[in-house]
Amino acid sequence: MARLVMKFGGTSVGSVDRIKNVAAKVKREVEAGNQVAVVVSAMSGETNRLVDLCRQIDPVHDQREYDTVVASGEQVTTGLVSIALQALGVKARSWQGWQVPIRTNDMHGKARIEEIDGSAMIRDMEAGIVPVVAGFQGVGPNQRIATLGRGGSDTSAVALAAALKADRCDIYTDVDGVYTADPRIVKKARKLDKITYEEMLELASLGAKVLQTRSVEMAMNHRVRTQVLSSFADLPGTLVVDEDEIVEKQIVSGVTYSADEAKVTLIGVADRPGIAAGIFGPLSDAGINVDMIVQNISEDGKKTDLTFTMGRGDLDRAVQILEKQEKSLGWAKLVPDRNVVKVSVVGVGMRSHAGVAHIMFKALAEKNINILAITTSEIKVSVLISADYTELAVRALHTAFGLDAE
Ligand code: ADP
Ligand code: ASP
Ligand code: MG
C-alpha cells in the first residue's frame, strides 16, 4: 500500500466527461489498495474568466477580494469530483483550503504556504474516505482566503504530499510528462523519463509552465517524489529526482523560453562610479527585480549604454521611476521594449562541459538571430532576443543540442 497525492490540472477537469475520467483514475488507485488524496484545479478557462471579471470592475482591485473571487473555481471542482467519486461507489469529501487548514502568509494573490495540518485528512484516508482538496488556495493569518499565484495548484499538491508524508505526488496534466521543450512548439521534443530537481527548478523559473516554480522548490526541499503524467493516456510520466538517480547526464536537458520579459536601454549614460547604484537602487526599493544587465564599454570613457530586463508587468512602473532619476543621473535617451523573450538551455551536465554558450550562440547566429543580453549560471545559459524569433530560436537550439526525436 502506498499513500499518493493525485493532482489534476484545469484541462483534466475541464468537462463533465473529464471529471468522470478523473474519478475513474482515482478509483483505480483506491482499488489497488492505496490511500489517495486528490488535489484539483479549476475547470480550464475558469480562473482566467474570474480574473477578468475582477479587472473589468476595477483594474486595480483589492487583492483580498480578488482571492475570494478566483478561489471559487477550485471550490466547484472539489464538489464535482467528490460527486463523481461517490457515483462510482468511492467514499469522498471535498476540502477547501481553510477547512484543512492550509495556512499561508498574507501576500494575497501570490501567498506562500506556511503550514498544513493534515491530521483530519489522514483520519479520513485511513477510514477509506478520499479527500478532494481545492488547489491554489489557503487561509491567511487574517482568516481570509488567499491564493498562491497562477499555476499554484501544483504547489498545493506537493505541499500536501509533504504534509501527509505521501510516497509520491502525481501531477496529472494535458501532456504525458516533462519534455525537452514545450511539445506545443517543438514537434520533435522528447519526453524525459527523469529530470533532476535542479533542472526542473530552472526550467520552471525560466518559463516552462508545466510545474509552478514553487512546487519544484517545495519538492526539492522536502524531497517529495514528484511525477508529471497524462490524465488521458495510461503511460508512465516523468519523475523529478535527485541527481544521483540519473545515470546518463545530458549537457542540455531542456530548452525553454519566457515571454514575461521587457527591457530598458539607457543610451548615453555617464560612465562614472555610482551611476549603476543610482539607477538600480530605486528600482529595487520599488520591489522591481532586474534580471539581465549589459553595460557597454564606453569609447571615450565618458558615456555608455546600459540595458537591463525585468518582468513585463513591471515595465511601466520602472519607466516611471527611472524618469524621476533622469535629472540627477542624466542620459540621452530611455528606450523601453516589450517585444523581447528570454530563451534558455538548462542541464546539469554543463557543470563539467565547456562550450555550451558557444554552441548556443552559433546556432542562433546561423538563423540570423541577434542576441540582446546574456546571463549564465552553473546549469543554464539564457539569452534575450526579439520576440519575433521565439519559436525559431527554441527549435534551432533544440536541434543544436541534439535533443530532436528521431
Ligand atoms: P495544468 O492545467 O494541468 O496545470 P499547464 O497548462 O499549467 O497544465 O501545464 C501544462 C503545459 O505546459 C503543457 O500543455 C505544455 O504546453 C506546457 N509546457 C511548457 N514547457 C513544457 C515542457 N518542457 N514539457 C512539458 N510541457 C511543457
Ligand atoms: N486555477 C489556477 C490557475 O489557473 C491554479 C492552477 O490551475 O494551478 O492558475
Ligand atoms: Mg499548471
- Please give the Cα distance from 397 to 345 (Å, whole number): 8
Torsion, Cα of 154, 159, 160, 161 (10° steps) = 90
Is 347 close to ligand 2, i.e. is its CB under 6 Å away?
A: no
Return the ligand 2 atom nearest residue 149 CA.
9
- Please give the Cα distance from 53 to 47 (Å, whole number): 10
- What confidence score (pLDDT) does residue 396 get? 98
> Residue 113: CA atoms inside 13 Å, Cβ hemisphere, count?
29
Which span out of 222-226, 286-290, 354-358 was modeled with the highest average pLDDT? 222-226
Is 135 close to ligand 2, i.e. is its CB under 6 Å away?
A: yes
Query: Best substitution site from 8, 39, 43, 47 to test ligand 2's pocket, by max atoms within 8 Å of Cβ?
Result: 47
- What confidence score (pLDDT) does residue 203 get? 97
Per-residue pLDDT for 176 more than 90?
yes
Q: What is the residue with the minimal CA distance to atom 1 of ligand 1?
A: 9
Is 136 close to ligand 2, i.e. is its CB under 6 Å away?
A: yes
Per-residue pLDDT for 301 more than 80?
no
- What confidence score (pLDDT) does residue 59 get? 86
Length of the chain: 406
Q: How far is the CA of 225 from the centre of ligand 2 (A)?
A: 21
- What confidence score (pLDDT) does residue 354 get? 85
> Is residue 175 very low, low, confident or very high in pLDDT (cuts 50, 70, 90)?
very high
Instruction: Tell me the three state secondary structure of residue 4.
Output: strand
- What confidence score (pLDDT) does residue 292 get? 93
- What confidence score (pLDDT) does residue 166 get? 97
Q: In this predicted model, what pLDDT tens digit does every residue of 67-123 receive, in sequence order?
A: 999 999 999 999 999 999 999 999 999 999 999 999 999 999 999 999 999 999 999
Per-residue pLDDT for 300 more than 80?
no
As given in the structure block, the three cell numbers for residue 316 are 511601466
- Please give the Cα distance from 339 to 393 (Å, whole number): 15
How many other C-beta atoms can be found within 10 angstroms of the C-beta atom of residue 234? Answer: 9
- What confidence score (pLDDT) does residue 284 get? 92
DSSP code at position 165: T
Report the relative pairing of strands 168-173 and 3-8 from DSSP bridges. parallel
Residues of 166-199 as b/e, b for ≥16 C-beta within 10 angstroms? Answer: bebbbbbbebbbbbbbbbebbeebbbbebbbbbb
> Residue 144: CA atoms inside 13 Å, Cβ hemisphere, count?
15
As given in the structure block, the three cell numbers for residue 373 are 543580453
Q: What is the DSSP string of 367-396?
A: TTPPP-EEEEETTEEEEEEEGGGHHHHHHH
Mean pLDDT for 119-143 is 96
Percent of the chain with pLDDT over 70: 100
Q: What is the DSSP string of 250-308?
A: -S--EEEEE--EEEEEEEEEE-STTHHHHHHHHHHHTTPPP--EEEPPPSSSSEEEEEE
Q: In this predicted model, what pLDDT tens digit does every residue of 26-74 receive, in sequence order?
A: 999 999 999 999 999 999 999 999 999 999 999 889 999 999 999 999 9
Return the ligand 1 atom nearest residue 184 CA.
16
pTM > 0.75: yes
**Which residue do the cell numbers 519559436 mark?**
391
**Which residue do the cell numbers 527585480 mark?**
289
Q: How far is the CA of 319 from the centre of ligand 2 (A)?
A: 30
Per-residue pLDDT for 327 more than 90?
no
Q: How far is the CA of 387 from the centre of ligand 2 (A)?
A: 25
> Is residue 320 very low, low, confident or very high in pLDDT (cuts 50, 70, 90)?
very high
Query: Best substitution site from 70, 136, 213, 215 to test ligand 2's pocket, by max atoms within 8 Å of Cβ?
Result: 136
Distances in Å between the Cα of 46 and the Cα atoms of 93, 327, 331 are 22, 47, 46
Sequence-ordered alpha helix ranges (H) in 147-196: 153-163
- What confidence score (pLDDT) does residue 248 get? 79
Mean pLDDT for 324-348 is 92
Per-residue pLDDT for 299 more than 80?
no
Q: Cβ(172)–Cβ(26) under 8 Å?
A: no
- Please give the Cα distance from 256 to 258 (Å, whole number): 7
Selection from 13, 22, 8, 28 nearest residue 172 by Cα: 8
- Please give the Cα distance from 56 to 356 (Å, whole number): 46
Query: Residues with Cβ within 5 Å of ion ligand 3?
Result: 9, 151
Q: Which ligand is nearest to the CA of 212?
A: 3
Is 10 close to ligand 2, i.e. is its CB under 6 Å away?
A: yes
Mean residue pLDDT of the chain comes to: 95
Percent of the chain with pLDDT over 90: 87
Q: What is the CA radius of gyration of the chain?
A: 23
- What confidence score (pLDDT) does residue 352 get? 86
Q: In this predicted model, what pLDDT tens digit does every residue of 279-297 receive, in sequence order?
A: 999 999 988 999 999 988 7
